[in-house]
Chain A
């Protein structure tokens, strides 16, 4: 096989950065949420109050910030709550959410699918089934189209 002796330094250049018509999202000035409070959630899980832990975990989602550390932290907390649920408790928990809550839950479920751990996928699939029953295809479409992701 012939060897490519020409320089390939151009491949390291991100041409989109130089595009003057590049689309940038609207810069939202609002101060963003920092994600749920880990210590509070831990307490509630230890006490066994899953429903409250669930609601607090879904409060203050860090949707506007671009800081991956904040998002990872929030995601980890929410996943811990979701995986600690008993299968039979999932449905009432989903039913207690409003429309935007179901959309937010769906966003976290799909983020959870991205990095499967030992048995997180199984419980996440159960969550997905129940959330889909309430949110329908629309909630999944909104996961795909949302610019403000968790």
Chain B
């Protein structure tokens, strides 16, 4: 585990470049800052300032080396590196509310953007006119789209929304790709077709994640629960309610294991092996063993009198000191993650090693 503090501002979102030597973060403002690893320190090398609203999503496409950012100013920009400078290109997403989330597709030929306008904008590059175009998915969505994840086949898109439902749509764009073969979720996939709509999850769906094969879909909701839908078992859904604060981000780290983190400030591991078998495995952050110096009885009671507690420390017993907002894979693939990173409201990205289980 390693951590490095980028200041006191909460980090809304983060993205790594291909070889994980650079990280793009947004400190809860309208700029994106790119840091490069120099030895044990991180040095600021670029500042991307085109947005006029708070940045809500960053994604860095590893192979094509493009960054897409979206903000509450209802815009999205695709940034390309030219002569060591990042140049923005405006994307016409045609939304009339803030953007909330953005993600490149696995083949990086398109990206999906969730927004408060109750729609998903799937954007692709049109070569003839040299601009980015967008198509909207609106069917059934009745409130803000809060999170997105792509299926490995580059066509299906899962979306979690604050209308308490999680859905899978087809984002097949016939202009840029071939017709997809059938998957466990369905065979007919015209653009905008909804292949799955979950029943009322009990809370806003904060984060969704497809399993490495794409046959399972996991999501976390605001009612402190984690759920999985299984395409191979007739789209059956299993929900596990936890006795902790709500989880806000979920990530598959192997075909059966997933890591989720949220307002409890530390990541937890869950395991799904089949319908009805969604279990909590363990807490993934080992609390620091602070050495408690011996206190005299007099001091003990004086503390109790003054502060109503004899606990001298003012730190949480975990690496993060505030809620975690986003998890991201650092090394390995979804099928076998070795390291993952987390950012949160304390401004400190932490990289966790996935212990072999």
Query: What is A's interface to B at a CB cutoff of 8 Å?
Result: 21, 23, 25-26, 99-100, 103, 134-139, 141-142, 145-147
Contact = CB atoms under 8 A, between A and B. Distances in A.
Contacts of B245: 137-138, 141
Interface of B: 118, 142-143, 163-164, 199-200, 202-203, 222-225, 241-246
Contacts of B203: 145
A145 B202 contact: yes
B200 A26 contact: yes
Nearest to A26: B200
Given A138-B223, A138-B224, A142-B241, 7 more contacts: A21-B118, A100-B241, A134-B243, A136-B244, A138-B243, A145-B222, A147-B200
Contacts of A103: 241
Contact of B246 (A21, A99, A141): A141
Contacts of B243: 134-139
A142 B200 CA distance: 13
14 contacts: A23-B142, A25-B200, A26-B200, A99-B241, A100-B241, A134-B243, A136-B244, A137-B224, A138-B223, A138-B242, A138-B243, A141-B223, A141-B246, A146-B202
Contact of B241 (A23, A25, A138): A138
A141 B224 contact: yes
Which secondary structure dominates where chain A touches chain B?
helix
Contacts of A141: 222-224, 245-246
Contacts of B222: 141, 145
Contacts of A146: 202, 223
Pairs of residues from A and B, 6 with the lowest C-beta to C-beta distance, nearest first? A136-B243, A138-B224, A138-B243, A145-B203, A145-B223, A141-B224
B244 A137 contact: yes
B268 to A, nearest CB: 12
A138 B202 contact: no
A145 B199 CA distance: 15
Nearest to B240: A99
Contact of A142 (B143, B163, B164, B223): B223
A56 to B, nearest CB: 24
B242 A147 contact: no
B266 to A, nearest CB: 14
A143 B172 CA distance: 40
A46 to B, nearest CB: 36
A136 B225 CA distance: 13
Contacts of B164: 147
Nearest to B247: A138
A134 B243 CA distance: 8
A33 B26 CA distance: 49
Nearest to B246: A141
Interface centre among A26, A100, A142 (most CB of B within 10 A): A142
Contacts of A147: 164, 200, 202
B226 to A, nearest CB: 11
Nearest to A134: B243
A21 B200 CA distance: 19
A147 B242 CA distance: 18
Interface centre among A21, A137, A147 (most CB of B within 10 A): A137
